[in-house]
Structure 1
């Protein structure tokens, strides 16, 4: 599967969540999570009458007796928060964190990996990790950017599963829409609410690195070489990403990268069979590191072998990394290097 990708209550205490873990293991549904709806302000965070609150991008206000310190959630966000100094207690995602490039170099010994495939979350293990809050993202369903009220957050199989997760700890949802530049700032706001000094120190340095990497990518993209991000599988063919629909790619496009428009009426992806692959040439191909075929496997496909980028050996990894200064700066530096070295091989 390719995806891209509330009511007022009383805060749950750690002892309550440990009890919930045991009840969930027995299949018992328990009380409401600690959150309330407030669509009037989707950016508020901080102390509230001696407690802590944060209003997420769905307009849900999470209120706790004190600032949360034990964070669990989707790989994409927990990796980003870790880059700001917040080590998660548990994480889940499309892959195991151990195999996710976003966690490269991290010691995962103290982190519970409670899900390693989309929608498969070990609820008992998640409850045992005793999180204060659980963070995830959510994608719109179409180019309008709107998010249906009954849509489950990314990483959850459906609303029923999300509701079970919310019994363990309140869920904070960050909307992954528009440009990643805006999403990055939203994650900074969340990190700030969680107690990180985002105005100076390491976060300020990371912001400066991000700005430098942005300028370098703009310079590298000025050559005009065309780029096509793809997810390729032998059985399902060639899935081409639409840059305006992917916040990460939209950021790079805003910085000057020339992405191929694959056409089609669908949102986010346009897919074709292998026989149509030669109809979508580019100077550079970015192949997804999540489940996609390797460059060697792509080149072994007779029709893909006809592509100018394949013939020129200009295939590079498309890393899906989180919305934070650190990881984005690192990947933009890589991408700038690919574009600087690339030759224009399409007419």
Structure 2
């Protein structure tokens, strides 16, 4: 993978083989992927959001994108028809590569592949689903960033940039685990809450491997979340709560204080850690999250 005399090549996590005449220099990306690329030394020319995102860039998901002046094009699924044409937002930034994520290993998550194909743009989709372990996710994003910097050969197989920082943060988690019960959730308003199923989230699965006692929400529909009421969430007995901090997590105007009294009373002594379920897949971003978890556990 990378560039040589014969051009640029990369195999994405759908098994799609990209062979280009030259290394791409103008990358448009889904916000999560773009924030990771920025951390890894590749500045996107633009980013777009998912169906959960609005007209403005969610600062929680953005990482350093806003500070770097990377323009936001709006939700990727809206870049269709005229908006997705050569004169539309995606065409206007003159990208020569699109980088997205995939949860099923088949389709890009945040953009219509037909729009990308219609513009004649190559697409890279990297897996971030529950069937992929976190170290592999970080390795793959480091790999594509290295290929875009034409430095892919600097990484040995199985290695990724910033691995030492992640290892140090994970060591801090191991040292602090103790017995606190940890619940990860996403607020859905005054009456409902989504409680995460830890195996469905690579970073939560990794925390479990490190010894963290992440609580299962119980049986019910949903592979990534159990949607329930706040009373049921309170009964899980959380000592540490990982709270979805994205803009779409709680309906406007309700906020944390709008949750029922039974929940506020249950977590009165709990430690709260902001959790972005779409953390940029870079070592720096995940090391920071693990350090926050370690501090709360300790």
TM-score tier, shorter chain, comes to: 0.7 to 0.9
1:1-347 map, 5 Å? 45-47=1-3, 50-94=6-50, 95=53, 96-97=56-57, 99-104=59-64, 106-109=66-69, 111-115=70-74, 117=75, 119-121=77-79, 123=84, 124-140=88-104, 147=105, 149=106, 152-156=107-111, 161-168=112-119, 169-177=121-129, 178-195=132-149, 197=151, 199=154, 206-221=162-177, 223-234=178-189, 237-265=192-220, 266-290=222-246, 291-293=248-250, 294-298=255-259, 301-307=260-266, 310-320=267-277, 321-340=279-298
Q: 1:313 to 1:251 in 2, by over 3 A?
A: closer
Cα pair distance change 1:163/1:228, threshold 3 Å: same
Structure label with greater radius of gyration: 1
Cα-to-partner distance string for 1:147-200 (whole Å, 9 max, x where unaligned): 4x5xx32113xxxx3211232311101011322211001111111211254648
Deviations 1:304-336 (A, max 9, x none): 1242xx121422211331111111111211111
Q: Using a 3 Å threshold, how does the CA distance of structure 1 residues 167 and 112 change in structure 2: closer, same or farther?
A: farther
Contact 1:240/1:262, CA 8 A, preserved across alignment = yes
Could you say what secondary structure the match of 2:162 adopts?
helix
- The DSSP-based 3-state class of the residue aligned with 2:173 is helix
CA offsets per residue over residues 55-90 of structure 1, 9 Å max, x none?
A: 101011112110111111111111111111100001
CA distance 1:118–1:297, change in 2 (3 Å): farther
Unaligned runs of at least 5 residues, structure 1: 1-44, 141-146, 341-347
1:231 and 1:57 mapped to 2: Cα distance?
28
Q: Are the structure 2 counterparts of residues 197 and 97 from structure 1 closer, same or farther at C-alpha, using a change threshold of 3 Å?
A: farther
Count of residues in correspondence between the two structures: 274
CA contact (8 A) 1:71 1:135 kept: yes
Query: Residues of 2 paired with 1:316 and 1:93: CA distance?
Result: 24
Q: Is the alpha carbon distance of 1:105 and 1:192 closer, same or farther for their aligned partners in structure 2, counting shifts above 3 Å?
A: closer
CA distance in 1, matches of 2:295, 2:76: 32
Residues 204/173 of structure 1: CA separation in 2 closer, same or farther (3 Å cut):
closer
State how far apart, in whole Å, the 1-side matches of 2:219 and 2:108 are. Answer: 26
Does structure 1 retain, via aligned residues, the 8 Å contact 2:186–2:243?
A: yes
TM-score by length of 1: 0.72
TM-score, length-normalised on structure 2?
0.83
